[in-house]
Amino acid sequence: MIRSRATVVAGSTLTLFSLLALSACSSGEDEAAASALEVPAAEAGSALDLADVCPATVVMQQDWEPEAEHAGMYSLVGSDYTIDTDKKRVTGSLVTQGVDTGVDIEVRPGGAAISYQSVTSQMYVDQDIMLGAVNTDGAVASSGNQPVTAVVAQLNMSPQVIMWDPDAYPGATTVEEIAADGATIVVSGGGSNLGALLSGNGTVPADQVDPSYNGDPSRFVGDPTIAQQGFATAEPYVYENEVSAWGKPVAYQLVSEVGYTIYPEPLAVRTADLEEYRPCLEKLVPILQQTQIDYLSDPDATNALIVELVEKYSTGWVYSQGVADYSVQAMQDLGIVQTDTSGIFGGMDEARIQEVMDTFTPILEASGTDVADDLVPSDLFTNEFLDTSITLD
């Protein structure tokens, strides 16, 4: 369960963006209201009418602070939203494809708002949460005690990267190449699986993996021989445009190319609640598929909301309009959002889930994690609610 800006299993870590921030305290305001809702109601009984099948408020839990990678949730928040700056959550009418679905949506950030705990832990603590963003390796890790089942993958490939100074390793295009030249690879410790993965599959010698990453850009700036984790959807822009001491491009490789083949942040329900939520999921999951596509073609309003939430929550996380805009393009250019190998947009491939299980089960068990006995891919995901007619192209 790797996050470039923080660990997401348990415990806490400083972040690049929090270290760039000047303030880490809430303003203390109770709520901030936006504009009135000016969209028609969905036709009663239609595919977009959720009033009779979903909870009155559909609560969704993200794994990190607001950012463009989470737009598949935030795009559903209607213009009548309110922001609770104390509890760090935004609530509004659930709006999609230009209509009010008849229910509300509440999106909760991860990170500081949940004391850097995992999404699965939060889902089991707070039963109001219907859907949570849980990486596939995170679902394997929680399978023994807090099982979840993913129902849609709005992102297909992890945007996680290892990045380095191209001047220090001229011509290098892979992590294996810079490791062969002696680079130290700095990654998160704690609950992160990345270091164990890279050393375990032979990409990086174990003695060159440094699990002390804390998001502080000063080490990378001060020592151009190291490489460190990051996100292709943020750090290349941030280091070139917002870290003044660096101010130039970085080189990187997606970790999905070196064995981290998880589905990033697919939306999951508690496994035991799947049947209870079935009538809702039958309508909501296709909406979640279409919402991701619609966002990529028209991201401005959602990005503005994301940036506003970051400012209002005031947790120390810094996220600019420039990063948000860059992220939208990067998600498309790098195939972070793409049709799955299962042939379905938002779908998940059983063989890929099995590969993730085969890769991470021994890593997790070696660290003392209780992975469920006899775990099979169908325990972790289902494509049954997806609309196969919804396509990215």
Each residue's pLDDT expressed in tens, for the chain with a length of 393 residues: 333 443 333 333 334 444 444 333 444 444 655 678 999 999 999 999 999 999 999 999 999 999 999 999 999 999 999 999 999 999 999 999 999 999 999 999 999 999 999 999 999 999 999 999 999 999 999 999 999 999 999 999 999 999 999 999 999 999 999 999 999 999 998 667 899 999 999 999 999 999 999 889 999 999 999 999 999 999 999 999 999 999 999 999 999 999 999 999 999 999 999 999 999 999 999 999 999 999 999 999 999 999 999 999 999 999 999 999 999 999 999 999 999 999 999 999 999 999 999 999 999 999 999 999 999 999 999 999 999 999 998
Cβ proximity of 339 and 392 under 8 Å: yes
Tokens 């219907």 belong to 130
**Taking the domains of the chain in order of start, what are their residue ranges?**
17-156+263-380, 160-258
Fold for 160-258, please state it.
D-Maltodextrin-Binding Protein; domain 2 (3.40.190)
Six-digit token pair at 246? 């660096």
* Torsion-angle region of 362 (φ positive above 0: left; ψ -120 to 50: alpha; else: beta): alpha
| CATH-assigned architecture of domain 17-156+263-380 | 3-Layer(aba) Sandwich (3.40)
**Main-chain dihedrals φ then ψ at residue 213, nearest 5 degrees:** -60, 130
**d(Cα 357, Cα 351) in Å, to the nearest integer?**
10
* Per-residue confidence (pLDDT) for residue 25, from 0 to 100: 41
* Per-residue confidence (pLDDT) for residue 82, from 0 to 100: 98
**d(Cα 32, Cα 7) in Å, to the nearest integer?**
30
Hey, how many other C-beta atoms are within 10 angstroms of the C-beta on 343?
11
Hey, how many other C-beta atoms are within 10 angstroms of the C-beta on 245?
10
Sign of the Cα torsion 268, 271, 277, 278 reads: positive
17-156+263-380 and 160-258 have identical folds: yes
Tokens 């709005």 belong to 154
